[in-house]
Structure 1
């Protein structure tokens, strides 16, 4: 026999889930394991003819072979069926949306998901299997979803709940019925109990969090403690409420929380209860009201998290200006930074006022550009201490209609809290970017990040990051892993370029870290950066968190110390603007202020603001490189702005060295990425900016395809440290005249040896190809042509030369290149030849004869050398 059960005190989600489960298991019977809620009882009374639910006493439990448990995964909550669930001969299937716990049924096949309601999980399966449902069933299923999601309003609601409701509406659900049974009026006994709870309410502040505790006694058993508690929360607009009701030798505890710091499920699990982070209940038998309250208080002291304070969410250090700063200079700084206001400080670095763009404009309009800002600033400053709670800050912003509040200690400015800081603290850092702040496929929990770090980083790197964490915690630093390594961890790629950012003095932290790791440190004070070099050769780049602004398009940035958020904001793309916290208890937390995770999932390259390409046009080259490396695409707005920057010829304002470095990065990628990148750059209109005559011809395409096909083979045969990017740049320039190539290399400031290689590839290699194809195949002749080429030019020859020449190059590399003769210049001197250029000519001729197999040992080499000397003397 197959049996479907829910839990005691059946609510609409449990009832709807049971009916939905029967659609998936049509042979199963539905069984109540205990009492049902009042509104559910009314619904069943009205619809008893279509709801076939049996009482548990009518079931032969020995005949049960399969148990389907819905809206619950704890055996103790299914009454007398708990023993059935523990039997080894019974298959148990669980469908639940509550968080897992140590009390879950161990032997069950668990199909639970973190949705707002269990009904959602089962409706999704019904829809996916194409199982038809009636309008009555659609109505009941919406009742189940709406009850547990607060009509899709509760924080735990997911998009899947909304999708399920939309499907059920299409299937004919009747919202009039839904509203009738969900809007519950209190009975007189419930009203009386709520009045007692209200009279017995007290407040406790635990770690800054205001906890409301309401207690009451009643001689009679009153149903609906959860409903009463919910009504109290709404009536009094409470953030947290725990209601304790003593009745009939037991105490019922109901908790509701709107704050992240109070996890009701975690707290009430200590009383053998549970539920969700936002709501739950427990029943305490053999307890008095006072003993139950004391047990709850002990758990609250242990488990309530600290209230978020101004010191935790503020941005800092804050960019300020001195009170004697002239109006004209202040206006320029405000224009460069894009700020609308600046805090003003005195000689003691104490905050004395705020100056806004409006204040500066008025002063300038009256011709007072020379005057100091202290004459025009606002002196009545609303501020908070670092210990101020989130609620206090929010109230101040609303009451004073302001968007930012300075954080002061002894009148010294520590940081500033903005509206965005408040929103992120309340709803999560991704809230402003349009997707769920609470998990789902578009976010990563701390546990998931730690798992990825463990899987994607070598053991020595993991150990090193733990040392970074402990050093940061013990010395009071906030430290973050940033950049490409974070991006690639999320994508599942290997990347051991370790970059960390420090809020505060990065160089000082680098010295602390070097001492911990017994490493050496190399610092660059001008930029606030350092490199920690371990004995193993492993490097960690350490930087001070900084912000930057550009005085004109394509300029190098002006840099100032800043916070991690501002440091990430200055970066090129959202996918590169993520960080992983490394400090103490925050280790492994992902910071994604700008939607980087979302863009990784959508495979988008997205800039952080509309002037990004104007400020730094090299980002166009990097965008193309990331497109090709990861198979991404610039999102539409980003691509439009890239094209506009090209049309405005801003790329042409870049220094040539910066363009050169971006090209080297592109051509350092493995084939076929460089070829595709060049095509994409041409599509964006960027190639002609590199050189007016640079276009992608069919001949160039053919060379790039050969590069793609034979590059790997070429480096395998050459087997030497080489600059992989040089042949690619040589192909890029292959359609230009030699004098233009020489000119371009000089403009781009290539090193002389690199410029010479490019010119060799452009001019010498084609001539060698022609000579090899026309002359004989003697080893000495081939070696004479190939010996002058460096590794990069040799690779270029191998790639472009065709099958016959590739065979020659392979033979040269494997057999001839390293053949040397035994005799030296000293041997020639002993034969009476005075030192002269003839030494080289004779030794070269001896090697030619050796390569061609005409001589084979030292004696024959000496004999040939003697004959050549004799001939020289006769000339």
Structure 2
């Protein structure tokens, strides 16, 4: 039989090599479910010459479906196959040989090629030496359908219905944790191709047979709940005299009926024990647990068939596996926020209200003089007291005293129960009688569903974002070896000193975007300065510290800097004011930052090295290519963020997120930008105009669009002339800066292009108001006052080299670059000749020679040497003797030197 070409997965993008004359067999697994059936049919579309064979029993609802559609489904009886003739197995929805029934010995046999299409995670029991085209998605049908669509193979409405059944069943209709975007996209496609919802609904929820009802009743009677590492796990046991199919369906119905997060059923039937597991909790990976019993599946569901054991023995082995494989519940100590803002019981209502308004909290724990937790005061309590004119009274008269607290060891499950039973949204965490942290509803939801859950986002189908191994791989591929070595040194020092240390800021953002950025900024939970000193000792570096801010700079012998800061939070006393800083946790430190894309961190300490922290949906916003602020008062608190938002938007080709743009415009309308200190605006402008072209002009246009350009100066606006200057800047600035030389500041000509249409006095006044450095103001004013006139001269009549040098010698490097940008071909050629030939042309005489002639030192020295240089530039004198002769004539006329 001629074999058809098999597709390689996207990793290779090619076709699997095939020889002619093969018998190809498509197999699934024993106890065929809809995902296995649909995957077999999908594989048949890719391998049309292959035969489909069941490896073992078929679930009852699947068997019913097959009996109704026998005319369009062709399966070969395994007894009619010559096993010796099989030289290719296409295995779907399965990667374990023991689940191939009577075909389990074929993988590994010489001459048998095995292709695997699966969606289950790898396990120690997987077949070896196979061509694995699996992906970790919600259903194997999704894997195969992606290839079918990519190859442009059409499907019928019947196939669309079957494929949808497979995806719906294995993803719980897109509700199981392993579900991905690809699964949802596949279902949308299948709907377009005519998937029949009535058929899907009928076969997804089949009624139970009398025997299944009986088994379910017995399992319910034998159900007990055990606690494993703080988790409640339901274990149900039953014996049946005859074999009953559909144990997985029954387990699912039991979980729904009893509202169970985790259930394992053990059904003893005809000399075997069928074990089915279902879990809604990340701490219980069903695949891991059942792998120890010879079974498998995926993290949320799976099964095992145990032969030659009693029900009691099977239960004992299951419990042993649970003890080994169940991960401990998260505790309050792991998810709490800290340090906690507390207030004394003697604090006045008015002061407590001010603090609460400043920090945005909705409640404060209250402590007595010894620091002991004695109550909690809420915003509602403070508002009521203030309304009654009791602002002077201490909070102890209004606080709630019957508070509920937890310890660091309290499990997540107990925290949930306490919050639900008492209708409270936060729990103080105490060590003895001292407050060490607080757990909120948000902390609980993040712990249950991942750090991005509250943003409504699970990047790449995983609630926690990128895995550690993915981040470590990214570091290895993107950062130079020297920087990787420094990160390892940071990790080592953190581990030895017991510090939690994180890489933060732009380097994390750019690492994820694939942009070069070697600035190392780290945050330390604890004393950042003490950590910096330890790090400096390790790297033989020196430290500059700022105790007031808890920051330090570690300066390596090579000159490279590592900025170290203690985790801190900040608040603003009034709009546009500088922030007040307090020590805090990494989460609060990240929350104080400007945009979500800058709030991500990478853990560097020990076993956490490479762990990505993304509390605020930064990874999602990178993927959506948008700039988003963290809260609605962000621009009011710090209007410089408007300028930074525009810079990031233009640099990365992003867009301001819709609400962020509305709030930016509102802040401009409120004239808050005008309350900023000019130096802070200046720094943001330098950053914008230091960006490569054409980004500065795009930023200027965007600032005008937002209404922010006129906040810099009321006469600033984008004109055709300005647009032309920036067009020239984009075309010529790279070469111009090369001519200007090392150390020239690109932002000066870039900013000058925006300011040129302001009157010169206004421009100079503005530069001083912005508190630019004196030399920068001088360079800017040369660009604005002198360059336009020089451009006209150089592009006009032909000038001698000395005349050109006369124009260009007084210019700063930045003004020279600006002249090159604005000039025509003549001016640009003049600048090139000046820099390369004339600027640094040496004279062979000096003031010593003039002195030797008998000329007394005076300003005349400079005049004579300048004239000699001019003549040399124009080619009228050559060599030392001619220079001396010219100098003598200039000094003494025809009289010689006596």
Judge same fold: TM > 0.5, yes or no: yes
1:182 counterpart residue number? 205
1:310 counterpart residue number? 332
Please list every run of 5 or more consecutive structure 2 residues that lacks an aligned counterpart in the other structure: 1-22
- The offset of 1:522, in angstroms, is 1.5
1:372 counterpart residue number? 394
Residue 680 (1) aligns with residue 730 (2):
no
1:842 counterpart residue number? 864
Q: CA–CA distance in 1 between the matches of 2:884 and 2:599?
A: 68
2:664 counterpart residue number? 642
1:817 counterpart residue number? 839
Q: 1:498 to 1:177 in 2, by over 3 A?
A: closer
Q: CA–CA distance in 1 between the matches of 2:648 and 2:547?
A: 31
Q: CA–CA distance in 1 between the matches of 2:536 and 2:306?
A: 55
- The offset of 1:61, in angstroms, is 3.2
Residue 444 (1) aligns with residue 466 (2):
yes
2:438 counterpart residue number? 416
SS state of the match for residue 481, structure 1? strand
1:517 counterpart residue number? 539
2:7 counterpart residue number? none
Retained in 2: the 8 A contact 1:624–1:680? Answer: yes
1:191 counterpart residue number? 214
2:101 counterpart residue number? 79
Q: CA–CA distance in 2 between the matches of 1:789 and 1:49?
A: 89
Q: CA–CA distance in 2 between the matches of 1:823 and 1:50?
A: 102
Retained in 1: the 8 A contact 2:179–2:461? Answer: no
Retained in 2: the 8 A contact 1:190–1:224? Answer: no
Q: 1:773 to 1:295 in 2, by over 3 A?
A: same
1:425-464 to structure 2, matched below 5 A, reads 425-436=447-458, 439=461, 443-464=465-486
Residue 277 (1) aligns with residue 299 (2):
yes
Structure 2 residue corresponding to 1:493, chosen from 511, 515, 524: 515
1:388-427 to structure 2, matched below 5 A, reads 388-427=410-449
Please list every run of 5 or more consecutive structure 1 residues that lacks an aligned counterpart in the other structure: none
Q: CA–CA distance in 2 between the matches of 1:642 and 1:241?
A: 51
1:190-229 to structure 2, matched below 5 A, reads 191=214, 195=218, 199=222, 201=224, 203-206=226-229, 208-213=230-235, 221-229=243-251
Structure 2 residue corresponding to 1:665, chosen from 650, 669, 687: 687
SS state of the match for residue 625, structure 1? helix
Q: CA–CA distance in 2 between the matches of 1:141 and 1:774?
A: 76
- The offset of 1:117, in angstroms, is 2.2
Q: 1:300 to 1:623 in 2, by over 3 A?
A: same
Residue 722 (1) aligns with residue 744 (2):
yes
Structure 2 residue corresponding to 1:328, chosen from 329, 350, 357: 350
Deviates more, 1:705-714 or 1:172-181: 172-181
- The offset of 1:694, in angstroms, is 1.3
- The offset of 1:795, in angstroms, is 0.8
1:617-656 to structure 2, matched below 5 A, reads 617-656=639-678
Retained in 2: the 8 A contact 1:431–1:437? Answer: no
- The offset of 1:128, in angstroms, is 6.2
Retained in 2: the 8 A contact 1:211–1:240? Answer: yes
Structure 1 residue corresponding to 2:625, chosen from 592, 603, 611: 603
Q: CA–CA distance in 2 between the matches of 1:440 and 1:240?
A: 21
- The offset of 1:746, in angstroms, is 0.8
- The offset of 1:495, in angstroms, is 0.8
Deviates more, 1:846-855 or 1:168-177: 168-177
Structure 2 residue corresponding to 1:751, chosen from 757, 768, 773: 773
Retained in 1: the 8 A contact 2:452–2:463? Answer: no
SS state of the match for residue 728, structure 1? helix
Please give the root-mean-square deviation of Cα atoms over the aligned residues, in Å. Answer: 2.9
Deviations 1:751-784 (A, max 9, x none): 1100011111111222333343456532222223
Q: CA–CA distance in 2 between the matches of 1:77 and 1:193?
A: 25
- The offset of 1:169, in angstroms, is 5.0
Deviates more, 1:700-709 or 1:132-141: 132-141
Residue 612 (1) aligns with residue 642 (2):
no
1:870 counterpart residue number? 892
Deviates more, 1:555-564 or 1:106-115: 106-115
Q: 1:75 to 1:524 in 2, by over 3 A?
A: same
1:581 counterpart residue number? 603
Deviations 1:415-450 (A, max 9, x none): 111111111111111112122367369942222212
SS state of the match for residue 262, structure 1? coil
SS state of the match for residue 78, structure 1? helix
Retained in 2: the 8 A contact 1:720–1:791? Answer: no
Deviations 1:344-398 (A, max 9, x none): 2222222221112222222222222211111211111111001111111111111
Deviations 1:56-101 (A, max 9, x none): 1111234445433221123332234345444565554432221133
- The offset of 1:582, in angstroms, is 2.0
Deviations 1:439-481 (A, max 9, x none): 3699422222121111111122222222322333343333221
Residue 508 (1) aligns with residue 530 (2):
yes
Q: CA–CA distance in 2 between the matches of 1:862 and 1:180?
A: 107
Q: 1:592 to 1:769 in 2, by over 3 A?
A: same
Q: CA–CA distance in 2 between the matches of 1:738 and 1:810?
A: 28
Residue 261 (1) aligns with residue 283 (2):
yes
2:813 counterpart residue number? 791
- The offset of 1:413, in angstroms, is 1.0
Q: CA–CA distance in 1 between the matches of 2:724 and 2:211?
A: 87
Q: 1:135 to 1:417 in 2, by over 3 A?
A: same
What is the total number of aligned residue pairs between the two structures? 874
Q: CA–CA distance in 2 between the matches of 1:598 and 1:842?
A: 69
- The offset of 1:127, in angstroms, is 5.9
Q: CA–CA distance in 1 between the matches of 2:388 and 2:288?
A: 62
2:61 counterpart residue number? 39
1:110-129 to structure 2, matched below 5 A, reads 110-123=132-145
1:337 counterpart residue number? 359
- The offset of 1:403, in angstroms, is 0.9
- The offset of 1:103, in angstroms, is 4.3
Deviations 1:183-231 (A, max 9, x none): 342644873586368548462533x344455556667555444344444
- Give the TM-score, by structure 2 length: 0.91
Q: CA–CA distance in 2 between the matches of 1:475 and 1:238?
A: 43
- The offset of 1:853, in angstroms, is 2.4
Q: CA–CA distance in 2 between the matches of 1:831 and 1:534?
A: 53
Retained in 1: the 8 A contact 2:741–2:813? Answer: no
Residue 101 (1) aligns with residue 123 (2):
yes
Deviations 1:399-425 (A, max 9, x none): 111111111111211111111111111
- The offset of 1:335, in angstroms, is 1.8
Deviates more, 1:845-854 or 1:213-222: 213-222
Retained in 2: the 8 A contact 1:194–1:232? Answer: no
1:233-272 to structure 2, matched below 5 A, reads 233-244=255-266, 251-272=273-294
1:61 counterpart residue number? 83
Q: 1:323 to 1:812 in 2, by over 3 A?
A: same
1:362 counterpart residue number? 384
Residue 3 (1) aligns with residue 3 (2):
no
Residue 382 (1) aligns with residue 404 (2):
yes
SS state of the match for residue 113, structure 1? coil
SS state of the match for residue 389, structure 2? coil
Deviates more, 1:122-131 or 1:598-607: 122-131
Q: CA–CA distance in 2 between the matches of 1:210 and 1:825?
A: 95
SS state of the match for residue 54, structure 1? coil
Q: CA–CA distance in 2 between the matches of 1:167 and 1:771?
A: 67
Retained in 2: the 8 A contact 1:254–1:279? Answer: yes
Q: CA–CA distance in 2 between the matches of 1:594 and 1:17?
A: 38
- The offset of 1:860, in angstroms, is 2.8
